[in-house]
Structure 1
Amino acid sequence: MSSGLAKGIVYVLLWYLSVWCGFFFVCCPLVFIAIFHLKAFRSLMSIAYSMWEMYPVALMNVMFGTEIILSGDPIDAGDQALFIMNHKTRLDWNFLWGCMFHASRPSSHRLKMVLKSPIRHAPGPGWVMQIAGFLYIERNWNADQDAMTEQLDYFRDIQHPLQLLIFPEGTDLSESNIEKSNKFADSHELPHYSRVLHPKTTGFTFLAKRLAENGQMDAIYDITVAYLGNSFQSEMDAVHGRFPYQAHFHIKKYSASSLPASDTEAMKLWLNKVWSEKEARLHQFYNEGRFEGSSVTSESKPQPLSNALCMALIFWTILQVFLVYGLLTSSFIRWLVLISSTIMIVLSFTSRGVQHLEVQWYHYFNSRNNA
């Protein structure tokens, strides 16, 4: 077994086990708070999730030396915002957490993502993201529009500050997807792209408009991601330890007041212009090895771990030891794992997910109090 494969297997196991620890020891207890106080539950879940996100960032740094390199604008942690990003690989989200940690001022955020619905069934990660309030879509626009409206309005009603990420391309940058994107470009008289895919505008314009109407959008953050080092595309590349040595993120902030969010057609044109600029920015990056405004090059020294990342690494590793020890020695822990997992499997396949049940509970609770 090669050292890269061995490291990759250890990384994936630690990553996955940390998710299970978060589900059993953090998410499940916090769910009981939702019965009595939804706003407090939602705030605590955001804090807990952002604390976990530091763990894979620290793991990548320690095991593979992966650095997070930033350029452009900082992220105001207090902003309610819509985030848009190109989707180069199936693992972009794993590196995005590092971007959010290092770029946010202060280093905290409440980022949720718009994801494909089948992901919510994934044992562990899918369950945690349900409880964290991520938005899941079915690729049925009428149903998706209603579900997103319901969830966004709920966050507004409980006054939960929202940061939401959408990948407008809808899928990753593979050769087959580039071909499909270019066929779409030919049919709409658009240029061919090789570094990005042409964005899908319907979901983006709906979210921008709804968030603006709800007073939930102070800004739009456009993030461009690019990697230096190992070529990777999917989860199996992570298993084989094929990680980049640098993940570069260029961030550009657009104030909501400068955007035509109420004009659907104008927002479609705006998004297409942003993606055209992103294509050019990425060509420049792969010619120069860095984004404009970044002083970091491939010869830079390794990035040291911050105190917060060290603490996350220690905390989540200890929690994994506790879980494994508990499974081996404690009937209580075994019953907790069995019952919690069974409940989530049933809820995932008999409902639209915990995030939907949370909204339903809010409406029931409100109607009962107003009766």
Structure 2
Amino acid sequence: MQNFNDATDLTAGDVTVELSVRKGILETEVPCEPLPVSPNIPFSTSRGLRFGVITFLLLLSAYFGSIFFQGPLLPLAFLAPKLFRWCIDWTMASWLLFSEFLIVKVAGVRVRHFGDDFLPHSPDGASLLLLNHRTQLDWLFAWGLGAPVQRMKIILKESLAKFPGVGWAMQCASFIFIRRQIATDQSRIDTLISYLLNSGAGCELLIFPEGTNLCSTSLARSNQFARKANLPYVAYTLHPRCTGFVYLVTLLGRHRLSAIYDVTVAYPDHIPFPEIDVFAGKVPQEVHYHVRRISASELPWDCPDGASGDLDERLAGWLRAQWMAKEAFLKEYYARPVEERRFKHEVQGQSQAFQRDTITDQLHPTLLGLANAIFWFISLIVFTYYLYISWIVFSFAVLVQITFVYLSIFSGGINFWASKQLGGPLLTGPVRSLSERSG
């Protein structure tokens, strides 16, 4: 591990982090609160109501979509497993396109993409997206980046799988739910990543290496860890938990992993925290995502001449270096006036729901985005109506929900059950100890 009590430069991309020290202790005081402190913007009843409507529509559409679109597809999991995977991914793509439409058009949140584009990889390849976790809404706004992010499978805590509707849909989509103990999680991770690769759908994973969102409590814990581990104090990010990242990289390997996307989220005008404030209309006007594509070949696979340490240590050190660069990157970003907060090199993005007018910089719905939104609105009305008047539809909905609950409890989840039907080679990573926490 690098000694951060020495004056050190960490370089990640075009960002250099300079760590000044004095008598073995960093010159900066321990931050008590996350930075920056968001301005106390006034309440907006109309924006709050709009966000409330969006939340209701997202939850209702996820609930009905899991029952009436994904439920009937379950037999395909053992009759035609690859077709099942394709159909489920299609339903998720449609729902996420609807989500993007609501976030941008109804909530009025402009999602801007800076830095590098997302590049395709081979069907048997894999990529990792690393995102700092500023608020619990980061993943929701990230869907505004378009199809590349909407294809990704999120690694998230197991409790979210139990939510009716949303949890079932995420299980069907093969999101990976973990308990944050890598020794107990690794079997599920191995199985589900192997399933995604064997299905030919590719393996694109979104992870939050910090493990939780940034708040005063998590920041205090992070800086307490920094003191013990001789790391710099942070205020704009949390120190990453490296075990999960290291495990994923070693599991996928240098020949299968094509790229790492180091993504930084920033809120130029208002940080939606606490998240419940969005229902009072305290919604950001814009959310900025800076993407830095790092070829997997740039990871420290091989030990430099004269250096020591195993691959796990080198990968953990690499991730910490990226995060210290991210800390400095955000500090510089938020030091600017609100109207000047932008990253360099804005890109068009790959949204299928909206098209940007290069002259006015306005977003206009595409025909696909508009048709998809109309489809979902009509579907919600039709499902509600037939649930009320038809005992057959009602009975079908009850049966599907019972099936989802059964698979969730007795088969380890819908995703784990589906993976058993496909078969194929199983990737296995190095065995981890019970004391290691995943990130």
| TM-score, normalised via structure 1 length | 0.89
Change (3 A) 1:172 1:42: same
The 1-side partners of 2:96 and 2:277 are apart by: 20
Shift of 1:140: 2.4
Query: After the TM superposition, which of the residue ranges 59-68 and 170-179 deviates more from structure 2?
Result: 59-68
Any idea what SS the aligned residue of 1:280 has?
helix
Any idea what SS the aligned residue of 2:238 has?
coil
- The residue aligned with 1:83 is 129
- The residue aligned with 1:255 is 295
Contact 2:133–2:210 (Cα < 8 Å) also in 1 = yes
Shift of 1:173: 0.7
Query: After the TM superposition, which of the residue ranges 340-349 and 250-259 deviates more from structure 2?
Result: 340-349
The 2-side partners of 1:203 and 1:69 are apart by: 28
Change (3 A) 1:234 1:49: farther
- The residue aligned with 2:263 is 223
Change (3 A) 1:197 1:363: same
Q: Which amino acid aligns with 2:342?
A: R
Shift of 1:46: 1.8
The 1-side partners of 2:259 and 2:277 are apart by: 34
Tell me if 1:144 matches 2:185.
Answer: yes
- The residue aligned with 1:20 is 63
Pairing partner for 1:347 from 363, 382, 407: 407
Any idea what SS the aligned residue of 1:222 has?
strand
Q: Which runs of 5+ in 2 are unaligned?
A: 1-43, 303-310, 349-359, 427-439
Shift of 1:259: 1.5
Tell me if 1:166 matches 2:207.
Answer: yes
- The residue aligned with 2:173 is 132
Any idea what SS the aligned residue of 2:253 has?
helix
Contact 2:94–2:372 (Cα < 8 Å) also in 1 = yes
- The residue aligned with 1:292 is 344
Pairing partner for 1:356 from 416, 421, 428: 416
Q: Which amino acid aligns with 1:152?
A: I
Query: After the TM superposition, which of the residue ranges 191-200 and 227-236 deviates more from structure 2?
Result: 227-236
Shift of 1:284: 2.2
- The residue aligned with 1:72 is 115
- The residue aligned with 1:333 is 393
Change (3 A) 1:325 1:240: farther
Shift of 1:261: 4.6
RMSD, aligned α-carbons: 2.3
Pairing partner for 1:94 from 116, 127, 140: 140
Determine which structure has the larger helix proportion and give its number.
Answer: 1
Any idea what SS the aligned residue of 2:330 has?
helix
Change (3 A) 1:316 1:240: farther
The 2-side partners of 1:309 and 1:66 are apart by: 16
Contact 1:168–1:201 (Cα < 8 Å) also in 2 = yes
The 1-side partners of 2:347 and 2:245 are apart by: 32
Pairing partner for 1:61 from 70, 87, 104: 104
Pairing partner for 1:323 from 356, 362, 383: 383
The 2-side partners of 1:295 and 1:285 are apart by: 18
Query: After the TM superposition, which of the residue ranges 270-279 and 256-265 deviates more from structure 2?
Result: 256-265
What does the per-residue CA deviation read over 1:302-359, in whole Å, with 9 as the maximum and x for residues that have no partner?
A: 4333333222221211111111111222222211221111222232233321111112
1:161-240 paired onto structure 2 within 5 Å: 161-212=202-253, 215-233=255-273, 235-240=275-280
| Bigger radius of gyration | 2
Contact 2:47–2:107 (Cα < 8 Å) also in 1 = no
The 2-side partners of 1:235 and 1:353 are apart by: 28
| TM-score, normalised via structure 2 length | 0.76
- The residue aligned with 1:244 is 284
Tell me if 1:282 matches 2:330.
Answer: yes
- The residue aligned with 1:369 is none
Any idea what SS the aligned residue of 1:228 has?
coil
Change (3 A) 1:45 1:234: farther
Q: Which amino acid aligns with 1:315?
A: F
What does the per-residue CA deviation read over 1:120-169, in whole Å, with 9 as the maximum and x for residues that have no partner?
A: 00111111111111111112221101211122223233333110111000
Any idea what SS the aligned residue of 2:343 has?
coil
Change (3 A) 1:245 1:281: same
Query: After the TM superposition, which of the residue ranges 113-122 and 241-250 deviates more from structure 2?
Result: 241-250
The 2-side partners of 1:343 and 1:147 are apart by: 21
Query: After the TM superposition, which of the residue ranges 145-154 and 128-137 deviates more from structure 2?
Result: 145-154
Aligned length: 356
Shift of 1:192: 1.0
The 1-side partners of 2:91 and 2:341 are apart by: 35
Q: Which amino acid aligns with 2:177?
A: Y
Contact 2:121–2:258 (Cα < 8 Å) also in 1 = no
Query: After the TM superposition, which of the residue ranges 90-99 and 352-361 deviates more from structure 2?
Result: 352-361
Any idea what SS the aligned residue of 1:249 has?
strand
Shift of 1:234: 5.1
Any idea what SS the aligned residue of 2:257 has?
coil
- The residue aligned with 2:41 is none
The 2-side partners of 1:248 and 1:115 are apart by: 22
Pairing partner for 2:314 from 266, 279, 292: 266
Q: Which amino acid aligns with 2:319?
A: L
Shift of 1:83: 0.9
Q: Which runs of 5+ in 1 are unaligned?
A: 367-371
Shift of 1:56: 1.7
Pairing partner for 2:198 from 119, 133, 157: 157
- The residue aligned with 2:156 is 115
Any idea what SS the aligned residue of 1:168 has?
coil
Any idea what SS the aligned residue of 2:268 has?
strand
Shift of 1:68: 1.0
The 1-side partners of 2:380 and 2:118 are apart by: 31
